[in-house]
Structure 1
Amino acid sequence: MELEVRHLRVICAIGESGSLTKAAKALRLSQPGLTAQLRRIETMLGGRLFERTSGGAVPTAFGELVLTRARAVLPAIDDLTQGLRAPGRPHTIRVGSVNAPLLPGLIAALRELHPGSRVTTITRGASTRLVELVDSGHLDLAVVGDCPSFELAARPGVVLHPVATQPVFAIMPEGHRLAAQHEVTLRQLAEEDWVVPPPDDDRVREYWSTVFHAAGLTIRVLHEVEGPVLIDLLLAGEGVSLCQATFRQQPGLAVRPIAGDPLWYRHLLAWRREGPVGGEIAGPAARAYADVVGRNPVYPAWLSSSVASEVRW
C-alpha cells in the first residue's frame, strides 16, 4: 500500500474536526470504514497518528508532524488540479460556510459575478477552522460568524467583512409553556433542560454560558447533540435551546425573542486578500441576508418593534 492524496485528506479531515465521527460525515464514509482506513495509514507510516479520548481524536506528536506536512502538500495539489486547468475548463471558486442562511443567495451571486465558474462548497462547524482554510488557500471565500467578546482573530492575509448582526432567540416545542409568551427571559430559560450543540472552536457555547453566568444563571444541559438530532429532540419535548433569528420556521417548534436582547451573533465573510473573490461580493451577501430575514415571522416582528434594542457589540 502506497500513500495517496486521499489518505492525506483523511488525516487532515480528522485533524480539522477533532473527531472520527465528524470526519467520517464530512468525507461521506462510515465511521468503521474511516477507522479501518486510519489504521491502515498508521501501519503504512509506522506510527500512531491520533489518540482517542473522551474529547475526540487528539493528534500524537507524530500525528502533528504528519498533519503539518499534509497541510503543506494539499494546497499545492489543489493548485495543480484547479489552477493549471486545461483550456476551456471552468475556474473553480471554493466556498466554505458554517450554518448560515445566506449561503444559497451567495452562491447565486458568485455565479453571476463569475460567469462560467464552478462554485463548490463545504461546511464546517467552527468559523475558526474556515478562516484558517481561507488563509491557507484551501478556500476562496467563507461565510463565518462570531459573538461579542469572542470575535474571530484577524489574519494578515484574510479580509473579515461583517454582513449582518442579529439577536439570538430561544427555540422550544410549540406546546411548551414558554411558547405562550411574546418573549422569554434568561431566568426562565435557566429553569429548563437544554438541548445544545457540542462545544467547538468558535466558542459560541462559551459565549452563551458567559452571558448566563453574568446574570447569575447557568445552562442546564441535558442533551449535547447537533444538526437534525438537535431539532428532533426539541420536537420530542426534551428541552429548549437557542437559534439564529433567521432560523427557518418548522412545524412543531416556536421561536421567541429573549427579553433585553442579551445575546447576539454576527455573520461575516472571509476572503483572501490576493484571492479571486473580493469586496464585490459584499453587496450581494447583504442582499442574500435580507432575503432570509422573513424565514420565521418572529424576526420581522422584532425588527419592526419599537422596543427592539440597538446592537450591543
Structure 2
Amino acid sequence: MDLELRHLRILLAISEAGSLTRAAAALFLSQPAMTTQLRRIEASFGQPLFERSARGVVPTRAGELVLAHARTAVASADRIRGYRLRPANSAEPVTVGGSSGPMLSHLTLHLPAAVSNPVTFVQFPSTGDAMNAVADRSVDAGCMVDLDGFGVPLPEGVVVDVIGLEPVVVIMPAGHPRAGQDRVGLADLADETWLLPPYDAGCDDYGALADACAPAGFAPRVSPHRIGDLGVLCDLIAQGVGVALAQGAARAREGVVMRRFTGDPLLGRHLLAVHRDSPLFGARPLLLDLVRAAFEARCVTPG
C-alpha cells in the first residue's frame, strides 16, 4: 500500500483521540473501517504503531517517530493547500452534484470547511444527469457511479478520475432459497425477474446485466417496472416481485438481503468529474482526497 496524506491524518486522529472509536467518530468513519485502515498502515511499516489496551491506544516507539513526521507533513500540506488549492476568486460560489452514493454525503460534510468558496450541493437522479451537469457547467464537480464498461463517454472539457471499483450486489427477498449463501451465482438466478432503474444515459444497466448473464447461459427477464428509489425497490423485492442490482455500499432494508455474486461479474465504478473551467479544478487534489476517504470507509473492493 502506498502511504498517502489521508493515512497520516488517520494516525494523527488516533493519537489525539487515544481511542479508535473516538478517532473513527471524529473522521466520520465506522469502527471496522478505522481498524482496517490502521492495520493496512501498520502493515506498510512492518510493525505496530500503537499499543492496544482496554483503556485505548498509545503510540509505540516507532509510532512516536512516524507521528512526529506525520505532523510536519500534514501541517505543510495544509499550508500548501491553503495557498494553491483555493480558487483565485474566493468569493465565487461553487456547486457540487452527484448521483446516489457515499461520496456526495462525505463531500457535503467536509468540503465547505476545506475551501473558501460558498458551496452548495445537489443530488441528481442518475449518473447521466450528473455528468451532463458537469459538462454544461450547471455544477462545478460531480461524483457518480456507473457500471464498469457500460458508462458514458467522457464529455469534452471534463476530467474524470476513477476513485475505485466496487462489486455490484443482488437484492433478493429475505426468504429466497439462496438468501443464506454468502455469494450467489448468476446462473442460480436465471428464472428471476429483474427490476432495473429508470433509463440512464450515463450507465447502461441492462447492457451490463445481459453481458454478465450471457456466460451463465441465459438472458435476463426484465420487469416492465423501472424503479430508482431504493426504499420502493426493496419493498417490491420483499413482496417477491423480483430481484435487483445495487451498489455494494447500499444498506439492506427489512425483508430483503444483499449478496455478492460469485466471481464479481459486475463492478461499479465510483467517479469524480470536474470541469476544466470550474473554479474547483485547482482544488481537484483536495476533492480526490475526500472522495477516496469516503470510498475506503464505505465500499468493498473486489476479491
TM-score (norm 1): 0.61
Residue 295 (structure 2) aligns with = 289
Residue 239 (structure 1) aligns with = 242
Amino acid across the alignment from 1:215: A
Residue 177 (structure 2) aligns with = 177
Contact 2:93 2:117 (C-alpha < 8 Å) held by counterparts:
no
Distance 2:168 2:145 in 1: 12
Residue 192 (structure 2) aligns with = 192
Distance 1:282 1:116 in 2: 17
1:274 maps to 2:277: yes
Residue 254 (structure 2) aligns with = 251
User: What per-residue deviation string (whole Å, max 9, x for no partner) do you get for residues 134-172 of structure 1?
Assistant: 121111111122323224312331110111110111111
Contact 1:196 1:230 (C-alpha < 8 Å) held by counterparts:
no
Contact 1:145 1:266 (C-alpha < 8 Å) held by counterparts:
yes
Contact 1:194 1:222 (C-alpha < 8 Å) held by counterparts:
yes
- 2:270 aligns to what SS in structure 1? strand
Shift of 1:240: 1.3
Distance 2:130 2:166 in 1: 21
Shift of 1:233: 0.2
Distance 1:250 1:161 in 2: 31
Amino acid across the alignment from 1:237: G
TM-score (norm 2): 0.63
Residue 52 (structure 1) aligns with = none
1:109 maps to 2:110: yes
Relative contact order: is structure 1 or structure 2 higher (C-alpha 8 Å, sep ≥ 6)?
A: 2
**Percentage of pairs with the same residue:** 28
Residue 100 (structure 1) aligns with = 101
Where does the alignment leave 5 or more consecutive residues of structure 1 unmatched?
1-84, 294-298
> Once superposed, which parts of structure 1, at least 4 consecutive aligned residues long, lie more than 6 Å away?
none
Contact 2:167 2:268 (C-alpha < 8 Å) held by counterparts:
yes
Name the Cα RMSD after superposition: 2.2
1:263 maps to 2:266: yes
Distance 1:240 1:151 in 2: 22
Distance 1:175 1:164 in 2: 32
